[in-house]
């Protein structure tokens, strides 16, 4: 039996993609450390069987023409890590609208490392202040919340397109709501809670373990009535990952969940500061570098603070290389 573990080896990539099915099914290609773990190998094969009916959608996502969407960030919070994203007045909302993002993602609870949890009532009140303005505009809206009570309350009153759950739809009630309202679901990987997530950065094989998490979530969501095309994968850059792990995940955006659509959020995050030495207010250049790389590698959605700068850089780069 042959084993490959180098993420830069093209043969290793087959482990994570549907065109590697025959190799995996015959156990010709699996991570070295799984050689004695038949349970994990069986889990991979089982997921191939489960995803088989959705192959057409998955193959379309992998090989079809993909246009990267830009998601602009608005934080209706007083403590989000980048002050420039905080909605201190209505002017910030109108500024975002002028930048014409494809989607606006609104958060009512800071999830930066060490942040405190916000009660649902406070979160709803914060989000309603932004939604009451946005409802008059033709713009796709995403709500960034891990609390089903928040999503449930807002869906009854507002036209929301995406549910962005950093806890990865662990709560079955969140899955039920998403299925009932037929909303697009952004499933993020994170270990622990924002308050303690930096304690959980020890992985044997980060790609395998994140994919195992996604497979479990995807299976539960599809079995609960959520359409595969409404599922978007977010590896959770900066959430329970250290600097080296973040870089590895950014370098290999094709390594996740068998062709389901992907979202990356790298904007102004700490790993950029570690590379450049810049504080959060001076990390736009580093953000743009990651955005160009990810867009050229067919990531479907980029979640950013600076919409027009990222979009312009991506468009110009594409023009220069095509």
Closest CA to 267 of 287, 250, 241: 287
Structure tokens at 18: 């549907």
DSSP string computed for 75-117:
E-SS--S-GGGB-SSHHHHHHHHHT--SEEEEESS--STTPPP
Of 184, 261, 303, 311, the catalytic one is 303
The residues facing 142 across adjacent strands are: 105, 162
DSSP state of 191: S
Residue 54, C-beta contacts closer than 8 angstroms, at least 6 positions apart: 222, 228
- CA torsion sign for 222, 227, 228, 230 is negative
Which member of 261, 269, 283, 311 is catalytic?
269
Residue 269 is among the residues annotated as catalytic for this protein? yes
Nearest to 167 by CA among 137, 133, 190, 141: 190
Active site residue 69: no
Residue 29's nearest CA partner among 53, 1, 65 is 1
Kindly state the helix (H) or strand (E) to which residue 71 belongs, with its residue range. strand 69-75
User: Pick from 90, 101, 158, 92: which is nearest to 124 by CA?
Assistant: 158
Question: Which residues does the annotation mark as catalytic?
Answer: 269, 303
């Amino acid at each position: 039996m042959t084993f490959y573990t180098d993420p830069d080896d093209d043969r290793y990539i087959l482990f994570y993609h549907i065109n590697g099915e025959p190799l995996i099914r015959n156990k010709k290609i699996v991570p070295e450390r799984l050689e004695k773990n038949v349970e994990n190998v069986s889990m991979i094969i089982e997921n191939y069987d489960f995803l088989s009916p959705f192959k057409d959608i998955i193959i379309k996502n992998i090989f079809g023409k993909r246009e990267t969407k830009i998601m602009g960030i608005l934080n209706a919070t007083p403590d989000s890590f980048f002050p420039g994203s905080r909605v201190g007045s209505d002017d910030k909302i109108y500024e975002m609208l002028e930048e014409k993002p494809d989607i606006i993602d609104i958060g009512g609870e800071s999830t930066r490392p060490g942040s405190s949890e916000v009660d649902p009532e406070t979160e709803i009140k914060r989000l309603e202040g932004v939604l009451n303005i946005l409802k008059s505009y033709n713009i796709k809206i995403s709500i960034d919340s891990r609390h089903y009570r928040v999503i449930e309350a807002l869906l009854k009153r507002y036209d929301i397109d995406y549910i962005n759950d950093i806890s990865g739809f662990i709560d079955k009630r969140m899955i039920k709501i998403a299925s009932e309202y037929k909303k697009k679901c952004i499933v993020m990987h994170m270990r622990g809670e924002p308050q303690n997530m930096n304690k959980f950065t020890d992985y044997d094989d980060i790609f395998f373990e994140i994919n195992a998490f996604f497979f479990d979530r995807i299976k539960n969501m599809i079995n609960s009535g959520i359409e595969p095309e409404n599922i978007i994968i977010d590896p959770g850059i900066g959430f329970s990952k250290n600097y080296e792990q973040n870089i590895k995940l950014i370098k290999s955006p094709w390594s996740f969940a068998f062709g389901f659509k992907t979202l990356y959020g790298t904007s102004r995050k700490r790993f950029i500061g570690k590379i450049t030495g810049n504080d959060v207010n001076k990390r736009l250049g580093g953000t743009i570098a990651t955005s160009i790389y990810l867009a050229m590698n067919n990531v479907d959605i980029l979640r950013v603070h600076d919409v027009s700068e990222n979009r312009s850089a991506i468009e110009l780069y594409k023009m220069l290389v095509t």
